[in-house]
Each structure stands twice: as structure tokens, then as C-alpha cells.
DNA sequence: CTGAAAGCGCTAACAG
DNA sequence: CTGTTAGCGCTTTCAG
């Protein structure tokens, strides 16, 4: 049915090896021969059979990206960046959604689907430090996120503590002293929530501002509705605060909404900062000051690291950790009058 | 290196055919043999080589989804739904971003990447009716969206006209008569903008309300900022309106923000409706009334149609068109006091 | 019910 | 510079 190397070879009057050489840009082919082969390829509309090539070469040309779910904007934007980065190095991306479920994440690590790709970029949410050993797999793997540190693989992520400290310092520099937190996770140490809370505390300590449990609002999930609920709870506690640090943008956006509904002016009465620099942070009312955690850089480095491991698997270099550059993006929600 | 059928066969003391039979759930295998083989598989940690299987079977187990970009929430949520639907039928999904660029879309249709997948679900944005013939490809293809109709392939999309008419009728039923449009496209006939505008006009006609070009705002793109800009322009025209129909949610959200900044109350002074039922529509201030275009159904049917074409390519059935069920989702932005 | 053997389309030694 | 040939690991007739 489909046209093969043999067909092209026959049409061009050469052997299949020569056709193969032309296709793979093998240098030592006479220009005239090359031209003849290319013509035959064009005429017959030959396209290499990628499965055969994979079987032979052991490379598929695809990498997998596993993440919780695309309908969470952060991950959609991450996927966008990863696909772009992969495209630059000639790889396609298979996306697998885990729903942040630990069992599914664990399964996925040893699923036979792995055989379909050259490597995996993995952003777990359900797994924790105790599962680190499970990352010691036999294929190229790059870890994303803050669920597991010091694991057996390359790890690319953001400077959560530093960035959260910077965000808090930024609010303090604007004269805010009572900075509420939305989205903390009870007792968490690593994980985005734990790390960002730690950065917050560091900034408080450095400024000599006491930490007040009363203005910390906990949520399990980080959707906009959780931010809204957390803020309602905060308001019902009847405590004082003059700023809110949403541990991510959607939380901040949800909290900001409730704040405004309750009659507070943002940033007049309360200034608000988020974390992630989602597209939508730019268009909220008021637009949201936030932390750009370096998503594009994370994607770029993750793909590059993975490709290095794919291309030179023998290089048993120690696991590498890369922390992307962050920056505060100032917008209206923290503007000073 | 990796363990193959031969290794398993040797370990279990059977031939590779028997192992293959076990793996593929071929019925006529003696239970004892089956057990022995399964044990060997478990011990050796055998995983089938998917490339070899693909080469042999002609099926890859992957489908491609081509869309403009994941950072547009509508497409992220569509991708989410498609991945879930594909998973249910045992397929993985490769996502390709076109940026809505016609050239890239055209290229992608004949790229050798197609060989890596069993079929393509394609949501073009740059291509138009004139390019319909280009969809006549030799592999299973399902078209999404409203750029091309009556093309040579199966097509799954939403009831744009009906849904837009329903949205408009809904506003009219609440007593609104001066319904502004945000996001129209100059001279467009098909395409989401063209079709939704047509539904709007039909509702107006049916209600005997004159169409007024003065309250139609055009934009090229459909980002939130375009909705904001369009609304500013509308306000600067100094015309009267008591409702806004954003041709999608992000436009509506952007317009709603400007409206509120300008001191209008939503829905008090102006009620606002969107289209798409994005997650974020649920959490805006006020929450946004919108049209759920049946995204989950679209994904489900698209995958199912594609699989049918993949599994029975000989069935040269005529191209099918499926229009998903829509519904109005009532929220605060159109609440009547 | 199970085994032997052919071959999917390609790449890479190895010859020439 | 180009041709021959041997598999990559699997599925699948076809025998037994």
C-alpha cells in the first residue's frame, strides 16, 4: 500500500541503502544520485515509516509530559512551553493527565506506554518525598515541581522560597505589615505551599514582623473557588490585614474577588499579590501583581536535559538540579496611590 | 538489553507464539500454560516493544490533536477532554500547536509526523473554506471548529448559530433590547464569529428589534484584552446599550472589566453573557452567564468517530457532521434583581 | 492448543 | 561512493 524505500530505490535506479543515505543526509552521496533520489521521493510521495525507524533505531521521536490536568491554567501554559521547546529539537509531545492522583502517577512511571516515548517529563502532585525511590527508572526522566527533592533524576523547578520571600518583601517595602496568606497547606514542608510559606516567613523574620497564624488561610486545592472560600473564612475571623499573598494566581484571583465583594478596595485597603504569572493575571480587575516563576526557562531546560540523557545515556552524570530565574511582575493590585 | 518475547518464551519453556497469544488474550491457551507465561512475564518484567508492534500491526496507539495553542483556555479545556476520551479507548494523544497559522496548518496535514499516529483530530483556525480540499487526506481525520464546512471528512462541532440565538433570546427575555456585541469579525460568514453573529441577528429579527451596527464592536483576536479594548471603543462611541454578548468568555470577561471600571454595574446597568463556559467564567466578579457549547460531547464524539475510521477504513461512508448539544448556564452577570 | 518461520520497513555493518 | 544483507521485536499464517 504505502510507498517504501524499495519503491523509491527502484524508481531511482539505486539501492535502498543509497535512498536511506539521502534521507539521512549521509554526506558521501554523489550530487547527481542525490538529485535523482530526491526526485523519486517527490514523485512517489515517499514518507518514511516512523515505526520501522523506531524499531531499528530505538528512538521514537516523542517524549511524554505527565501533569495533573490541562484545565489548570498553570499546567496548560507549562505544556504550551514544553511543546514549543520540544519542537525546536524535533520531538513531539504526548500529554498524559494524572489528575494529581498518586496511584496514577506511580502507575504511569512503569506503564508500557513509556516504551512509546524516548523519555518523560514528569510533574507529579500526589507523590511525595517517600516515593522518591520510585523515580529511579531505566529510561530518561526529568522531574518538575516541588513534591520531591534530591531524587535520583534531573530536576528542574522554580525558586519557590526565594521568590515567595521576594514577593513578601515587595509588599513589606510598600508599607504592608499584616500580610495574609491564602492557600497554605497544613504541616507541609516541601511542596509549593510549604516552600512558599517558608519564603514568606523568612521575609517576615528579616523584617521583624511577627508571624500570625490568624491571617493564614488553609486550602486543600488551589482553584479559584478555594481562594474565594479561604478569603471568606479570613474575613469571618474578623482579623486585620492590609495585604494578601495568594500562593498562586488563581487563589489570589478568587480571594481578590471576595475582598471586593465585601467592599474592600484593592489595592487601596488591601493589596494582593499572586504567584505563577498566568495570562489571566494580566486581565483581572485590578490586574494582578504576581511572580513569574520562569516557566519558559523551566520548559526549555527540562527538554534540553531530557534530550541530553536520551542522547548520551551512558553519561552516568549525577542528577542535576536547575532552578529557574524568577521575577516580580508589578501590576495594579499592589499599586501605591 | 531489554527483555523480549524470546526471553519470556525461554523462561516459560514455550514458544514465542504462545507468549504472544497470552499477551494478546488469544482465547485458546491452556490455563496452566497461561499462568506459567504470566509468571515469567512478571519475573522478567517484560514489556512489549511498541515500535515493533506498530511496525507489524500498522497501528501506533496514538492520535494527534492539532490546535492553535494550549494557553488559550478554550483549547486547553478541549485538549483535556480529548485526552480523557482517548484514554478511554486506549489511545494516547500527541498535541501539536499551530498558532492558528494557515501555513503551519497546511504543512501539518502532510507532515511525516502523521505516520507516527493513527489519525488526527484537527482544529484549524487559519485555514478557510477555500482550503477544504486540503483535508482530503489518506489517513483518518476528524475536523473540529467552524472554519470549514462540508469538507471531505467527519466534522464535529457546536451549534453556533442556535446557541448564539438562544443566548440573545435569553437576554431579550429579560427585557434587554440594546444588546451590544463584542468580538465580531468584519465580513465573516462562517467561523465562530460569523456564525454567532448570525444567531444574534436571527434572534433580533424574530423579536422585531432592529440591528444596529453602532453597538457591534469588532476585534481580530479573542483574548481578554481585545474584549477590554472593544468595550472601551463602544463606550467612547457614546451609544446606548443594556446588555453585552461577548462572542466568547474571554472577550466577555475583558469587556465586563472595562464596564465596571467605567462605573457601570453588571448586571444592574448592563447584563453580560459569554460563550464557551470556561472554568473561569464561574469565578469572575460577577460570575459570568455563558453558553456551554458541549465541549465534552465534542471530544467524545470526535475520538469515537476517529476510532471508527481507524478501525474500519474500508467503510467509505460519507463524511458525517455531528453538532453537540449546547445549554445556557445562568450566573450572576445576567441576574435580574 | 502450540511451534516454526516469514516479514512489517528501516538502519548499519560490511563489502566492493 | 554504492550495493548486500542481517536483524530490530513483534504478529501471523500455516503446520503439526
Q: Which CATH number does the domain housing residue B43 bear?
A: 1.10.260.40
Residue B30, CB, less than 7 Å from strand C?
yes
User: Among B118, B242, B232, B102, which residue's Cα sits nearest to residue B174?
Assistant: B242
pLDDT tens digits, A274-326: 999 998 898 888 899 999 999 999 999 999 999 999 988 777 688 999 999 99
Does residue B336 lie within any of the structural domains?
no
Whether A158 has a pLDDT exceeding 80, the answer reads yes
B29 CB-to-strand D distance under 7 Å: no
- Protein CA at B12 to nucleotide C1' at D15, angstroms: 22
Q: Is residue B124 part of a domain?
A: yes
Alpha-carbon span A324 to A212, nearest angstrom: 30
**What is the mean pLDDT of the segment spanning B87-112?**
96
Cell of A231: 478569603
Assigned domain for B335 exists: no
CA atoms within 13 A on the CB side of B238: 0
Same domain, B166 and B276: yes
| B307 and B264 part of one domain | no
Maximum alpha-carbon separation in chain B: 86
- Quick one: what percent of chain B has pLDDT higher than 90? 73
Distance, in Å, from the CA atom of B138 to the CA atom of A22, rounded to the nearest integer, reads: 25
pLDDT given for residue B27 in this prediction: 67
**A283 and A313 fall within a common domain:** no
B56: in domain: no
Residue range A25-69, pLDDT digits in tens: 776 778 778 888 888 888 888 888 898 889 888 899 999 999 999
- Whether residues B152 and B176 share a domain: the answer is no
Å from A220 to nearest chain B CA?
A: 18
B43 vs B150 pLDDT, higher one = B150
Predicted structure pTM score: 0.93
* Whole-angstrom distance, CA of residue B330 vs CA of residue B51: 49
B57 within some domain: no
Write out residues 239-278 of B within 8 Å (CB-CB) of A. 250, 253-254, 257, 260-261
Identify whether the C-beta of residue B121 lies closer than 8 Å to the C-beta of residue B63.
Answer: yes
Do both B169 and B135 map to the same domain? Answer: no
Domain that residue A309 falls in: 62-157+294-325
- The residue with greater pLDDT, A14 or B246, is B246
Residues 6+ positions from A127 with CB-CB distance below 8 Å: A102, A105, A106, A134, A147, A148
Considering the domain boundaries, does residue A215 fall inside one? yes
Query: What is the reported pLDDT for B295?
Result: 97
Report the residue of chain B nearest A74, measured CA to CA. Answer: B71
B261 and B196 part of one domain: yes
- How many domains does the structure of chain A reveal? 3
How far is residue A64's CA from residue A94's CA, in Å, rounded to a whole number? 5
CA–CA separation, B223 and B278 (whole Å) = 13
CB-strand contact A115/D, under 7 Å: no
Asked if residue B152 belongs to a domain, the reply is yes
Contact B162, B181 (CB under 8 A): no
Q: How many CB atoms lie within 10 A of CB A268?
A: 10
Cell of A196: 512558599
| Closest among A117, A109, A77, A116 to A249, alpha carbons compared | A77
User: Which residues, at least 6 apart from B173, have a Cβ–Cβ distance to it below 8 Å?
Assistant: none
Q: Is B142 helix (H, G, I), strand (E, B) or coil?
A: strand
> Is residue A1 predicted with pLDDT exceeding 70?
no
Same domain, B183 and B271: yes
Pick the closest to residue B160 from B81, B248, B268 (CA basis): B248
Q: Are strands A92-97 and B92-97 parallel, antiparallel or unpaired?
A: antiparallel
Assess whether pLDDT exceeds 60 at residue B1. Answer: no
Mean pLDDT of B316-332: 94
Q: In the β-sheet with B179-184, what is the strand arrangement from edge to edge?
A: B216-218, B179-184, B243-246, B271-273
Mean pLDDT lowest for which of A253-267, A315-329, B6-20, B139-153?
B6-20
**Mean pLDDT lowest for which of A157-171, A204-218, A219-233?**
A219-233
If residue A167 lies in a helix (H) or strand (E), which one and from where to where?
helix A160-173
Inter-chain residue contact A94 with B93, CB threshold 8 Å:
yes
* CB of A305 lies under 7 Å from some atom of strand D: no
CB B145 within 8 A of CB B123: yes
- Are residues A204 and A274 both part of a single domain? yes
Say what the alpha-carbon torsion angle B31, B36, B42, B45 is, to the nearest 10 degrees. -120
- Say whether B48 and A285 touch across the interface (CB within 8 A): no
Rounded Cα distance between A136 and A243, Å, is 43
- As ranges, strand D nucleotides with an atom below 7 A of a protein CB are 1-5, 7-13
What CATH number has the domain bearing residue B272? 3.40.50.2300
Give the span between the Cα atoms of A231 and A225, in whole angstroms: 10
pLDDT at B48 over 60: yes
Query: Which residues of chain A make contact with B114, given a CB cutoff of 8 A?
Result: 47
* Range of lowest pLDDT (A7-11, A88-92, B302-306): A7-11
User: Measured at the alpha carbon of residue B21, what is the angle toward residues B19 and B26, in degrees to the nearest 5?
Assistant: 155
Q: Are residues B153 and B300 in the same domain?
A: yes
> Nearest Cβ partner of B94 from A47, A94, A224?
A94
Please report whether residue A152 resides in a domain: yes
Residue B140, pLDDT > 80, answer: yes
Helix ranges restricted to H, chain B: 5-12, 16-23, 31-44, 50-57, 73-88, 102-110, 160-173, 191-207, 224-236, 249-261, 295-311
Distance in Å from C13's C1' to A299's CA comes to 38
pLDDT per position as a tens digit, B234-291: 999 999 999 999 999 999 999 998 999 899 999 999 999 999 999 889 888 889 999 9
Claim to verify: residue B194 and residue B229 sit in the same structural domain: yes
Residues B149 and B167 both lie in one domain: no
Statement to judge: residues B207 and B265 lie in one domain? yes
Half-sphere exposure of A249 (CA within 13 A, CB side): 26
Bridge partners of B218? B184
3-state SS, one letter per residue, for B72-134: CHHHHHHHHHHHHHHHHCCCEEEEEECCCCHHHHHHHHHCHHHHHCCCEEECCCCCCHHHHHH
Q: What is the structure's pLDDT at A44?
A: 85
Question: Contact at 8 Å (CB) between A216 and A239?
Answer: no
Residue A105: which pLDDT band, with cuts at 50, 70 and 90?
very high
Q: Residue B321: is its pLDDT beyond 70?
A: yes
So what's the pLDDT on residue B28?
Answer: 73
Which residues touch A88 (CB under 8 Å, ≥6 apart)? A303
Measured between beta carbons, which residues in chain A are less than 8 angstroms from residue B62?
Answer: 62, 94, 116
Which among B87, B80, B5 is positioned nearest to B40, based on CA atoms? B5
Amino acid at each position: 500500500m504505502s510507498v517504501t524505500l524499495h519503491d523509491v530505490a527502484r524508481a531511482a535506479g539505486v539501492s535502498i541503502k543509497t535512498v536511506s543515505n539521502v534521507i539521512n543526509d549521509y554526506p558521501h552521496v554523489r550530487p547527481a544520485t542525490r538529485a535523482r533520489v530526491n526526485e523519486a521521493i517527490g514523485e512517489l510521495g515517499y514518507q518514511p515509516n516512523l515505526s520501522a525507524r523506531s524499531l531499528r533505531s530505538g528512538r521514537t521521536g516523542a517524549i511524554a509530559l505527565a501533569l495533573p490536568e490541562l484545565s489548570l491554567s498553570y499546567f496548560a501554559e507549562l505544556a504550551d512551553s514544553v511543546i514549543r521547546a520540544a519542537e525546536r529539537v524535533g520531538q513531539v509531545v504526548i500529554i498524559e493527565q494524572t489528575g494529581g492522583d498518586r496511584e496514577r502517577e506511580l502507575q504511569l512511571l512503569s506503564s508500557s506506554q513509556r516504551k512509546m516515548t524516548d523519555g518523560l517529563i514528569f510533574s507529579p502532585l500526589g507523590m511525595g518525598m517517600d516515593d522518591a525511590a520510585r523515580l529511579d527508572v531505566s529510561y530518561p526522566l526529568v522531574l518538575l515541581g516541588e513534591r520531591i527533592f534530591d531524587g535520583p533524576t534531573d530536576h528542574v523547578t522554580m525558586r519557590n522560597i526565594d521568590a515567595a520571600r521576594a514577593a513578601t518583601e515587595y509588599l513589606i517595602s510598600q508599607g504592608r505589615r499584616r500580610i495574609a496568606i491564602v492557600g497554605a497547606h497544613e504541616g507541609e514542608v516541601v511542596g509549593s505551599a510549604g516552600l512558599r510559606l517558608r519564603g514568606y516567613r523568612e521575609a517576615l523574620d528579616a523584617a521583624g514582623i511577627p508571624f500570625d497564624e490568624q491571617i493564614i488561610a488553609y486550602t486543600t486545592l488551589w482553584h479559584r473557588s478555594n481562594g474565594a472560600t479561604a478569603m471568606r473564612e479570613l474575613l469571618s475571623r474578623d482579623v486585620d490585614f492590609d495585604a494578601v499573598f495568594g500562593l498562586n494566581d488563581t487563589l489570589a484571583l478568587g480571594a481578590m474577588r471576595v475582598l471586593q465583594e465585601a467592599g474592600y478596595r484593592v489595592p487601596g485597603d488591601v493589596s494582593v499579590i499572586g504567584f505563577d504569572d498566568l495570562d489571566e493575571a494580566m486581565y483581572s480587575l485590578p490586574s494582578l501583581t504576581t511572580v513569574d516563576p520562569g516557566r519558559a526557562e523551566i520548559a526549555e531546560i527540562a527538554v534540553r536535559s531530557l534530550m541530553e540523557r536520551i542522547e548520551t545515556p551512558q553519561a552516568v552524570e549525577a542528577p542535576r538540579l536547575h532552578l529557574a530565574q524568577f521575577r516580580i511582575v508589578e501590576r495594579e493590585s499592589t499599586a501605591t496611590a
